[in-house]
Amino acid sequence: MFTGIITDIGTLVAVEDRNDGRRLRIGTRYDPASIDLGASIMCEGICLTVTDKGTDEGNWFDVFAARETLDVTRVGDWQAGRRINLERSLKIGDELGGHIVSGHVDGLATIVERSDMGDQITFVFEAPQDLSRFIAKKGGVALNGTSLTVNWVEGNRFSVHLIPHTLSATNWPDYQVGDVVNLEVDLMARYAARLIETKQE
């Protein structure tokens, strides 16, 4: 479980394509000694399991993206040098600064507008039709692992506004119109909708 508060911007150091998925080596500021093998780290909004780690040529850890992950995300397109939003898993007693994020990507959203206003940016996204009903004005949404507040919703489009701190702590300045990002809708919204559906059955 995560909060959507990015704590490092990692760099994809190497990729190994295999029949059953992709092995990713990610350079990080995290101390590998503090990372357990089998631990979960959220990479661009995707909960992935650490399979190896090291300190040669800088700190790094390995994760494996299975075929199912490749099918619902853009991990298959990632190339060495890419900057990646990272978050360690939540510990009991940690401050919950964002909202509850599972790291299980629901779908992909496309950037349709980007408005730069000094050192702030507003993005407009287009979400899949089946997920847009879970996105509400002033509600929470996780985009590439970042917990963000929705400004407005019109049909299957919605906007978020990124302040200077968020821009400096994440890789969001890298994104442009046409780029596709990992979308996780608010868990509570999904359960609320399911409860309503159950009552109507």
Residues 6+ apart with CB under 8 A from 57: none
- Cβ proximity of 30 and 89 under 8 Å: no
Determine contact, residues 183/108, Cβ cutoff 8 Å.
yes
Sequence-distant (≥ 6) Cβ neighbours of residue 86 within 8 angstroms:
6, 7, 8, 9, 10, 26, 28, 30, 41, 42, 43, 145
- Measure the CA–CA gap between 176 and 8, rounded to whole angstroms: 21
By annotation, the residues acting in catalysis are: 2, 40, 47, 49, 66, 104, 149
